Structure 1
Amino acid sequence: MEKVNLNLRLLKIDKRKGCFLLLSIFSLLNLSAQTALYNSGNLRIHEEAQLGFHTNLINDAAFDENLGLAGFYGNPTLSISGAFAPIFNDLEIANEGGVQLNTSLNVLNNTNFIIGDFISSKNNAQTHFNFLQDAFYVGDSDLSKIDGYALLTNQQNFTFPVGDASFVRPLSINSESPNLLVKCAYFFENPNNPSAFPGFNTDLKPRSIETISTLEFWRLEGSIPSTVTLSWNSRSSIGGFANDINEVTVVGWNKIANRWLSIGNTLTTGDLDNGLVSSEVFLPNDYEIITLGSLAVPEEILMLDNYLLTPNNDGINDVLVIEELELSPNNTIQIYDRNGLKVFELNNYTDEFNGFSNIDNLVINREQGLPRGVYFYLINMIDLGLNYQGFLVIER
């Protein structure tokens, strides 16, 4: 690729002529090789000026005092590369081949999607299209969108115009406060074996989730509690795992539980071919990826038994196993003796109680384990909104 080092300052380019300035220069140079505009520090778009790119941009210096409009036009794929991420005021794309981002791109004001995608590698989340604090966009469609990572800076509510080469698959986020940074990308891939991440086994799920999509997912990074709205289209094949849109829910791979959990479906609209589903409030950074799933038919009555514990290391009833807690990884358990003394307490219980107290109180002979007898338990399934109580017998 041949670099064209203009090393110039653009002063109030006339709207009718500004878009043709670069083309005129390239034409005069009579270049036969593929060309690129190389910015080494003197390039600026002034207020009301327009700059049209019909060639690649190599940006190796600050390009951040722009007030006019920059556009990427033509048919062949263009690229943006270099050591510095350019900052445009207004931006538009009307290039069928799209613009490949090899370095990030920032926009202060409006982006006009006409035709063509802004494309970046989904294996590299550090290269992205960044909507700055007051940025917005118009015109996103299947023909023009962000095929890669989109970044949002200092905004509270936003719809990411993300997708893949074929479809725009937006994700809307509504946060409890402005996000310092929140990042999103869409993947038309099976979450069991994605290209950019380790696999997320869709069989690792609670019984409250019937099915998890194996066709697509979104990656969302953010540190503010938020709700999201996901879309689906005919390619999502919702009818393959849901009979009714009210069964559709947002699910995510939880980093702590290391399994899929339901994030809720507070609102669903549309039909099985096209629709939207909104989640409950969650923290995006708690989840590796999110996607669409379906809810299992709820059990009519969920009952917890009285339990027998015989902690003698024979492999039978040595620990307290409550299978129903698979439905509610976000839970608490408290165990009391017959005198009302708390002897055990744990959040997110998964078979840890083996007859020993974990409470700093007046338990006698603590190192020998709790004495045989009848105990009383309280369980709160937080994510299901259910509370249970019952008895536990320890035999030694």
Structure 2
Amino acid sequence: MDRIIFIFICFLSQITIAQQAFHNFGDIQIHNQGQIGFHTDLINDGTFDQNVGLTGFYNSIGNLTVSGKNRPIFYDMEIDVAEDLFLEIAVGVTNFQEFINGRVQTPRNRNKVSLDYINDSPYLGENDDRYVDGYSSITGVLDFTFPIGDDFRLRPMRIDTQAATNTARGAYFFENPNFPNFFSSSFDTTNFSNVLFGVSSFEFWDLDGDTETRVTLTWDDNSNIPTLVDDLKNLRVVGWDKSLKQWVSLGNSSTSGDLNNGEITSELMLPDNYTVITFGTSDILLDGDLQIFTAVSPNGDGNNDTFIIQGIAQYPNNELSIFNRWGVEVYNKKGYDNSWAGVSEGRATIARNETLPVGTYYYVLKIEGQKDRAGYLYINK
């Protein structure tokens, strides 16, 4: 489509058009069927928020910037800027937004400067080269997926319907939470609650909002999910609790995909209670009326020194078998009583009565009259 500029001005007190900027000091309104294309920077110090029609940002060789004192709000908006559109103030969209070329860059140390999707405005055209590199927000009544990313990687985050009503905002950070670039404190990935076994050190998200929601995070092959889990059922959404100053589990209500690409949805959580969120792994697997702690760290510190199956005492007619990665049985006990401390006791074990190496093992729990339970456990030191 030709980039045509049609401006229908309701009232204009003063506009300055310089070589490198369109500077609004007054009141501008784009009426129905109106179209305006910005090929220079926009500085908005006036009123520019009662618009219908199309607003476009176009630069085939460089970048453009939106700045000023007041947030402009557009009806339809398209972005075709080779070297990215930089926002120094928030910009709103009320009907539809399209990514054609380039990213939208917002300052990550100022989360209120964002691309704002108002009234459930949809968007189109996002990919690994076209997304919001920084913060975006939503105000509406529908589920919403933030078109956010970092380091030329689109990494969406989704929230439920209710969370959008009071405005929610989010951003993705492809950086180690132990050494964040845009936060005043770090988020120690070795400091987590006793129901967790590990926390990702590769990436995190910031989600802000005062209404409970489930949040869905996405991963790709750069997320290194296999360093956390062998089975997605043990993956968790985790959040840095502002009060406890540690990572806590936000649950796993569903997962899809595989270890290299997929998504996970948390249980209900209140975003403003957590500074940042990411992936973790839990050492507790809920299986009916049993809680299976899928981590053993036999180091004598009193935490997870043995393989704990909470509730097993009510099933004395049980049998537990544990196998290494090659399928060799390293432990077997009838009437298991939460006493196994990671010591090799299987018939085929070479180093009998010695602590097994760090790694992933497989358990099979048989309970008389019930279906066998099976899964992975982890030995750590």
Q: TM-score of the superposition, structure 2-length normalised?
A: 0.69
**Which of 192, 197, 212 is matched with 1:205 structurally?**
192
Q: Deviations over 1:88-110 (max 9, x none)?
A: 00001111211000111011110
Judging changes above 3 Å, is the alpha-carbon distance between structure 1 residues 228 and 298 closer, same or farther for their aligned structure 2 residues?
Answer: closer
SS at match of 1:234: coil
Deviation at 1:183, TM superposition (A): 1.1
**Structure 2 alignment gaps of length 5 or more:** 8-16, 294-301, 305-381
Distance in 1 separating the partners of 2:103 and 2:53: 21
**Which of 231, 239, 264 is matched with 1:244 structurally?**
231
Q: Deviations over 1:354-381 (max 9, x none)?
A: xxxxxxxxxxxxxxxxxxxxxxxxxxxx
Judging changes above 3 Å, is the alpha-carbon distance between structure 1 residues 177 and 255 closer, same or farther for their aligned structure 2 residues?
Answer: closer
Name the aligned partner's letter for residue 282 of structure 1.
Answer: M
SS at match of 2:36: strand
Q: Is the 8 A contact 1:155 1:180 kept in 2?
A: no
Q: Is the 8 A contact 1:249 1:265 kept in 2?
A: yes
- Are 2:264 and 1:280 equivalent residues in the alignment? no
Name the aligned partner's letter for residue 42 of structure 2.
Answer: L
**Which of 111, 132, 144 is matched with 1:158 structurally?**
144
Match of 2:218? Answer: 231
Distance in 1 separating the partners of 2:5 and 2:221: 40
Match of 2:81? Answer: 95
- Are 2:168 and 1:185 equivalent residues in the alignment? no
Name the aligned partner's letter for residue 149 of structure 2.
Answer: G
Distance in 1 separating the partners of 2:93 and 2:162: 24
**Which of 42, 45, 56 is matched with 1:57 structurally?**
42
Q: Is the 8 A contact 2:159 2:213 kept in 1?
A: yes
Deviation at 1:43, TM superposition (A): 3.0
Q: Is the 8 A contact 1:98 1:117 kept in 2?
A: yes
Q: Is the 8 A contact 2:284 2:292 kept in 1?
A: no
Higher CA-based Rg = 1
Q: Deviations over 1:268-314 (max 9, x none)?
A: 111111100000001111111000112226597789xxxxxxxxxxx
Aligned-pair identity in percent equals 38
Match of 1:67? Answer: 52
Match of 1:319? Answer: none
Between structures 1 and 2, the one with greater helix share:
1
Q: How many residues align?
A: 282
**Which of 245, 248, 253 is matched with 1:266 structurally?**
253
Deviation at 1:177, TM superposition (A): 6.0
Judging changes above 3 Å, is the alpha-carbon distance between structure 1 residues 236 and 177 closer, same or farther for their aligned structure 2 residues?
Answer: closer
1:76-95 matched pairs, under 5 angstroms: 76-95=62-81
Match of 1:111? Answer: 97
Q: Is the 8 A contact 1:175 1:227 kept in 2?
A: no
Judging changes above 3 Å, is the alpha-carbon distance between structure 1 residues 200 and 48 closer, same or farther for their aligned structure 2 residues?
Answer: same
Deviation at 1:165, TM superposition (A): 3.6
Match of 1:355? Answer: none
Match of 2:31? Answer: 46
**Which of 203, 218, 223 is matched with 2:205 structurally?**
218
Judging changes above 3 Å, is the alpha-carbon distance between structure 1 residues 94 and 296 closer, same or farther for their aligned structure 2 residues?
Answer: same
Distance in 2 separating the partners of 1:152 and 1:302: 39
Q: Deviations over 1:33-86 (max 9, x none)?
A: 951111122433221122111110011100012111111112311000011110
SS at match of 1:239: helix
Match of 1:125? Answer: 111
**Which of 103, 115, 121 is matched with 1:135 structurally?**
121
Judging changes above 3 Å, is the alpha-carbon distance between structure 1 residues 268 and 80 closer, same or farther for their aligned structure 2 residues?
Answer: same
RMSD (CA atoms): 2.4
Q: Deviations over 1:198-221 (max 9, x none)?
A: 001111112322221111100011
Q: Is the 8 A contact 1:44 1:66 kept in 2?
A: yes
Q: Is the 8 A contact 2:239 2:274 kept in 1?
A: yes
Q: Is the 8 A contact 1:250 1:265 kept in 2?
A: yes
Match of 1:356? Answer: none
Q: TM-score of the superposition, structure 1-length normalised?
A: 0.67
**Which of 236, 240, 255 is matched with 2:242 structurally?**
255
SS at match of 1:246: helix
Distance in 1 separating the partners of 2:137 and 2:223: 24
Give runs of ≥4 in structure 1 deviating > 3 Å.
Answer: 175-178, 297-303
Q: Is the 8 A contact 1:208 1:298 kept in 2?
A: no
Q: Is the 8 A contact 1:113 1:144 kept in 2?
A: yes
Match of 1:344? Answer: none
Match of 1:8? Answer: none
**Which of 150, 160, 164 is matched with 1:174 structurally?**
160
Judging changes above 3 Å, is the alpha-carbon distance between structure 1 residues 62 and 266 closer, same or farther for their aligned structure 2 residues?
Answer: same
Deviation at 1:247, TM superposition (A): 2.2
Q: Is the 8 A contact 2:163 2:209 kept in 1?
A: no
SS at match of 2:99: strand
Distance in 1 separating the partners of 2:237 and 2:53: 40
Match of 1:347? Answer: none
Distance in 1 separating the partners of 2:119 and 2:292: 48
Distance in 2 separating the partners of 1:41 and 1:265: 51
Distance in 2 separating the partners of 1:196 and 1:101: 17
Q: Is the 8 A contact 2:285 2:292 kept in 1?
A: no
